[in-house]
Amino acid sequence: MNPEKLLSVMEATWVPASTARQGPWTIRNGLGGGKRVSAATAEAAWQDTDIPQAEAAMAALDQPALFLIREGDGMLDQALMARGYRIVDPVVAYAAPLSILPQPPDPMTTFPHWPPMAIASDLWAEGGIGAARLAVMARVTGPKTAILARAQDRAAGAAFVAMNDKVAMLHALEVTPSQRRQGSAHNILRAAVVWAQANGADTLSLVVTVANDPARRLYASLGMTVVGHYHYRQK
């Protein structure tokens, strides 16, 4: 999966409240749903004097000045650094064909469902994934599901999976601290594979911060490989 396809799937499965074109920029209105749905991107040739246009558009939405820097955006990265923007949350993307990913989880360990049950929403809220991000999930128009994990007869974790163009993308994976190292994240990924296959996908993808070493080790252990990088610049 190339970086362009990755970003297209990400946009379709984690949806801004609205987007608008302002000169060379795409401006996203995230309504508090996080960086991915609030960052501006360059979509055409730009000049340094165009950057204030994007800043003003984000300020009008009451959002901080935030740019998504993709592979190939090196000149923009340098221009923003010169304007005092710092790097925030470097991200790495993983993907794998469903055919090489693990077998289904044991029965009763995971429960795909939609809309999210209250217990899944509560687990997300404990991890900082609140109403604004639930609204992001609700805006997705294609196939989607929440996955609730259980361990030791207790709700242990939750994730959101959505699909676009035969690629399923997993978002908002959260395991409650007291239930970690019980296999719940592994079970959620296995359940995501089953759900994706049932909905006609051929690939599972996800993004994670570079600093999240435990998650990255898990994804690599399952045969997922790095397919892209991006980061943000914030003033």
pLDDT tens digits, residue range 114-139? 999 999 999 999 999 999 999 999 99
Among 149, 168, 151, 150, smallest CA distance to 159 is for: 149
Instruction: Find the helix or strand (DSSP H, E) in which 196 lies.
Output: helix 184-198
pLDDT tens digits, residue range 8-58? 999 999 999 999 999 999 999 999 999 999 999 999 999 999 999 999 999
Domains of the chain, start order: 3-92 (no CATH), 95-229 (3.40.630.30)
What does the angle CA 215 – CA 148 – CA 213 come to, to the nearest 5 degrees? 5
pLDDT tens digits, residue range 55-102? 999 999 999 999 999 999 999 999 999 999 999 999 999 999 999 998
- Under the banding of pLDDT at 50, 70 and 90, the label for residue 179 is low
pTM across the whole model: 0.96
- Under the banding of pLDDT at 50, 70 and 90, the label for residue 107 is confident
Helix (H, G, I), strand (E, B) or coil at 226: strand
Q: Given this model, what pLDDT does residue 232 score? A: 98
- Whole-number Å distance between alpha carbons of 102 and 217: 15
Q: Among 16-20, 106-110, 116-120, 199-203, whose mean pLDDT is lowest?
A: 106-110
